[in-house]
Amino acid sequence: FKKLNHIQQKRIANQDFINQLSNNSINLGKAFFINLYINSTKGTASVHGLKENDSNRMYTLFIYLLKAVSKIQNIMLSILGLFVSFYTLKRFNQKSKFEIFLSFTILSVIFLSAISSDQGDRLHLIIFPLVLILIGFVIKNFFEPYKYEYKNRI
């Protein structure tokens, strides 16, 4: 496969993909969801690539904490991204075009990351700021009706 040129590789890959879709769709679907789960629950590869120094306990503890924070961050922001994006799209008629664009961007990156196996948060990192912005919009829209009620009391 490596000895073929780019056009030949692309043609063979497309033929294989079509073959997998028609003859092995169940396993292809399983692999998609397994990759989605793995990419959403692993930490960043750069932290896991750090070498532990046995002579320095603080360094070992620091690496352990970085791995834990990376993994928790990836899990939480991936789950929040999915829920907030689906919530925003469910309330489609009440949202701005920018919020809908953010939702589609987040969902497309998360679901497209499932094509690649065992990448950790490498593909999800780019959407984490978008998830936080979308959460801000959801919180703002949630408390919007109470703003007018509070002004009328005063």
Verdict on whether the full-model pTM lies above 0.85 = no
- DSSP secondary structure letter of residue 51: P
* pLDDT recorded at residue 121: 64
Q: pLDDT digits over 83-94, tens only?
A: 999 999 888 776
Query: In this structure, are residues 98 and 92 in contact, taking their beta carbons and an 8 Å threshold?
Result: no
Lowest mean pLDDT among 123-127, 131-135, 142-146, 149-153: 149-153
- DSSP secondary structure letter of residue 50: S
pLDDT band at residue 124 using 50, 70 and 90 as cut-offs: confident
* pLDDT recorded at residue 4: 83
Who has greater pLDDT, 55 or 20?
20
- pLDDT beyond 80 at 122: no
- pLDDT beyond 70 at 64: yes
Collect all residues with Cβ–Cβ distance below 8 Å to 131 and sequence separation of at least 6.
Answer: 77, 80, 81, 84, 106
Angle at the Cα of 122 from the Cα atoms of 48 and 26, rounded to 5 degrees: 105
Whole-number average pLDDT of the chain: 82
- pLDDT beyond 80 at 73: yes
